[in-house]
């Protein structure tokens, strides 16, 4: 019974704060919104909502294409690899361990090459 009451209160609160908007849209406009939503890898209704709220807030859209998301993820992966190596080196030197300079140089060359490949994609 308690769970049922919680759901009713939640639904009432949600409906007080949110309204559903429906309106007819020409097939051509719907197809264009759908095409752009697919490109951004989001649902058509989510994209339409984003367009409206962005317009009302007079701001730029906060959506990223799947290519942009992949680009950012590649950048993060490479950056994390470099940061991880730096942390390992710092940890070893703090523990008074010797750092193999050849391994360090080879790792840095590998990351330099990855960054060159990454930047050439842009």
Structural domain containing residue 43? 20-63
* Cβ contact 64:72 at 8 Å: yes
With respect to residue 15, please indicate whether it lies within any of the assigned structural domains.
Answer: no
What's the structural domain count of the chain? 2
Residue with tokens 């950048």: 75
Q: Is the pTM of this model over 0.85?
A: no
Do residues 72 and 59 share a domain? no
* CA angle in degrees (0–180, nearest 5) for 53-59-60: 100
Mapped onto helix, strand or coil, the DSSP state of residue 41 is coil
Same domain? For 51 and 76 the reply is no
Tens of pLDDT, residue by residue over 26-81, are 899 999 999 989 988 899 999 999 888 888 887 666 677 777 778 778 888 888 88
């Amino acid at each position: 019974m308690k769970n049922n009451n919680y759901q009713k209160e939640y639904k009432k609160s949600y409906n007080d704060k949110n309204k559903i908007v429906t309106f007819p849209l020409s097939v051509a406009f719907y197809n264009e919104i759908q095409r752009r939503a697919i490109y951004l890898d989001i649902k058509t209704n989510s994209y339409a909502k984003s367009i409206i709220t962005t317009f009302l807030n007079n701001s730029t859209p906060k959506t990223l294409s799947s290519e942009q998301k992949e680009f950012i993820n590649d950048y993060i992966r490479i950056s994390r690899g470099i940061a991880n190596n730096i942390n390992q080196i710092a940890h070893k030197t703090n523990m008074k361990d010797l750092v193999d300079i050849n391994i360090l140089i080879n790792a840095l060359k590998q990351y330099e090459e990855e960054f060159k490949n990454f930047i050439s994609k842009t």
